[in-house]
Amino acid sequence: MYPLKFHPILKERLWGGTKLAEKLNKPITSDITGESWELSGVKEDVSRVANGDLKGTSLNELIDQWGERLLGRSVMERFGSEFPILIKFIDAKQDLSIQLHPHDELARSRHNSFGKTEMWYIMDADEDANLIVGFNQPMTREKYVRSLEDRTLLDYMNYERVKPGDTFFINTGKIHAIGAGVLLAEIQQTSDITYRVYDFDRRDKEGKLRELHTDLALDAIDFEKKDDFVVTYERKQDVVNPMVDCPYFKTQFLNLQKDLVRDTQSRDSFTIFMCVHGEAVIANENGSASLKKGETVLLPASSARIEIRTSGCELLEVTV
């Protein structure tokens, strides 16, 4: 199997904008496009190949045909034939709702789904743009419920000013929101389960307030104040810089000014590259694919050697 690119699945959102087209050259058709799903096995939103002989083939069909040669034996032992992560680019023209995601056990019992652990890599940010991540003081269930009742929740939120290159790891249960003016790359478990707890009293295009999940969220929130979300990593040139290593995915940062060869013969996982700056050609034994800023490529676990040809690019390398 050669390096595979997929058609983006574009999602309109109440808070979306036009940066996915302006910054990442996505073929959006509205000025409220909030998400580009780059690689998805989510039911009803399964990615399809955009290049080569397998063009038009769905990700699930590839898994059925190639199995562990695509995913990796250990990946299939853990996750079966379900693609375990979801790759996105997100453009927030307005603030997203304040939300959180359940852990695996709770998501499985309530929704027959994985939980949603995720990470964000900031690609572009307006001046003074920020994120909400966690609480700014110790919280209790009682204090949280009272803040919803008296509409003071925002007073307890922790705001983080952001700039390109900043990276955040969002555990399940951590309350969070992407702020207006932020364009980011997101890597997450395959799950679309979100508990929305506050939405700034916004109304949808039909004039209705969006649904909140106050009761569901109560048993899922981590009320502790934890400063565990900022990812500290190096940006050394032409080497592999570790970023995140969690049970669901591993991400490394590549800041390349010349070609690099990755020996993946013993890697029992597929490999994903997200291009966040510049351009490259990604090749394995069976072919190659060009990769520009805002594009994503998937290489099968059977790849023994991956060659990155470039004169300048920044990549997120993702494995399981």
Residue of 48, 196, 203, 305 with catalytic role: 196
Structure tokens belonging to residue 213: 């999940």
213 is in an annotated binding site: no
- The reply, when asked if residue 279 is annotated as ligand binding, is no
196 is catalytic: yes
Angstrom distance (rounded) from CA 25 to CA 50 = 15
- What are the percentages of helix, strand and coil residues in the chain, rounded to 5? 15, 40, 45
Distances (CA, A) of 188 to 100, 125, 204, 207: 13, 21, 26, 31
Q: For the chain, how far is it from start to end, CA to CA, in angstroms?
A: 19
- The H or E element containing residue 218 is helix 214-218
Rg (CA), the chain: 20
Q: Residue 101 annotated as binding? A: yes
> 3-class SS at 169?
strand
With the C-alpha atoms ordered 82, 84, 88, 92, is the resulting torsion angle positive or negative? positive
Name residues whose C-beta falls within 8 Å of residue 257's C-beta, 6 or more positions apart in sequence: 237, 238, 310, 311, 312
Q: Which residues are annotated as a binding site for Zn(2+)?
A: 101, 118, 176
List, by residue number, the catalytic residues: 196
